[in-house]
A and B are shown apart, each in its own frame.
Chain A
């Protein structure tokens, strides 16, 4: 296996306080890595650092062996997909929400439409395409947020508690669907969670974070 992302000697401060310290972490291509740990452990921070939305105080992040500085932030981000803790949909139709990252990348209309259709279908939201995002249930909104990331065909997929805000039934259904879909994306995936069921269903390895440090690293 080859390495997609390598983190070395990382230190992140937020509001002056060190919140993440990782000496070394390798993420292999096509790995599905679960981040677990209590609230405040630094899971979201790690994902945002990997999305280059938080600047670390020190440390190197190598992407396919190249230092982070070799790629502009925007060009790097156009190779990843990010789903944050809340769906954060825009006030437009479901279709336009799913397509927004493709529009940012200037993907031509027919290709964009093909990908949106395909992922809306796979995530079971094709009947919602013309609906306003504001009128969706929590589970539907989360599926739109996932579709919006999947259509980008990212090399690195970052999911922050993708099941966090859902009720039990919705969570179970989405977990089942994601278990089937995640391997088809070909993306290397990092997701944070509190739930061992999600770790066992989706991940091939897991990292336990505590107080901003890697506590254990193990395969699932």
Chain B
């Protein structure tokens, strides 16, 4: 009875799609950028790392405010008509998740023995072969970075509400739906949605813990 409401599944699916896509885009940004930060030396590198780490703690409502102002009809990118669309939620979630993926990618690669890079180059690796080899070497913490990125956006509510508008059949995701159902006093639906969100975050944390324990065993 809890779950035979088709809206519940629609909302869940949209949540996974939106946050999954945002995480994927964050990976495309964060993996190369985090690698660059970890491997190269340039002036301002530590300032940049500090900024990224600050970005990892960006309050989602502040991101929501900034994205809403940018996409607002009269805002600088208002002409794109993205406000209150899934794309707007994805943009906000990328801004939240990309620093997480970037920062954790850099941390994962910096945790490797720095001499490993020299050894790989000394074995004749090209730059690309060297980078692919150390990604492979850090594959578990990199997977953890990816899941932490997903975890940071799937349970985020402020930005999704502000830039998505919680429109039924269009931009209603798990978190915003829970807020709405609770405000209406529709606790049955709110609980059903809450259980699904819990299940998703539980699976992520379970996998993260499993990865960390496998890493610790090595």
Q: Could you tell me which A residues sit within 8 Å of B by CB distance?
A: 48, 51, 53, 73-74, 77-78, 80-82, 84, 86, 88, 90-92, 100-101, 104-105, 134, 148-149, 152, 158
Contact B118 A152 (CB under 8 A): no
Among B116, B122, B129, the residue within 8 A (CB) of A53 is B122
- Given A100-B123, A152-B123, A88 and B133 contact (CB-CB distance below 8 Å): no
**How far is B209's CA from A196's CA once the two chains are assembled, in angstroms?**
50
Contact B113 A152 (CB under 8 A): no
- Given A84-B115, A84-B119, A88-B113, A134 and B124 contact (CB-CB distance below 8 Å): no
B126 at the interface (CB under 8 A from A): yes
Give the shortest distance, in Å, between A86 (CB) and chain B (any CB). 7
Contact A51 B129 (CB under 8 A): no
Question: Chain B contact residues (Cβ within 8 angstroms of A): what range?
Answer: 10 to 19
Contact B218 A101 (CB under 8 A): no
Query: Which residues of B are found within 8 Å of A158, using beta-carbon distances?
Result: 122
Given contacts A74-B124, A91-B218, A149-B123, 8 further A-B contacts (CB under 8 A): A51-B118, A74-B125, A74-B126, A77-B122, A82-B119, A90-B136, A90-B137, A91-B136
Q: Could you tell me which B residues sit within 8 Å of A by CB distance?
A: 113, 115-116, 118-126, 129, 133, 136-137, 218
Give the shortest distance, in Å, between A106 (CB) and chain B (any CB). 10
Among A48, A74, A92, the residue within 8 A (CB) of B118 is A48
Interface CB pairs A-B, < 8 A, 21: A51-B121, A53-B121, A73-B121, A77-B121, A77-B122, A78-B124, A82-B119, A84-B122, A86-B113, A86-B115, A88-B119, A90-B116, A91-B136, A101-B124, A101-B125, A104-B124, A104-B125, A104-B129, A152-B123, A152-B124, A158-B122
**How far is B118's CA from A127's CA once the two chains are assembled, in angstroms?**
29
**How far is B214's CA from A91's CA once the two chains are assembled, in angstroms?**
13
B123 (CB) vs chain A CBs: closest residue: A101
A54 (CB) vs chain B CBs: closest residue: B118
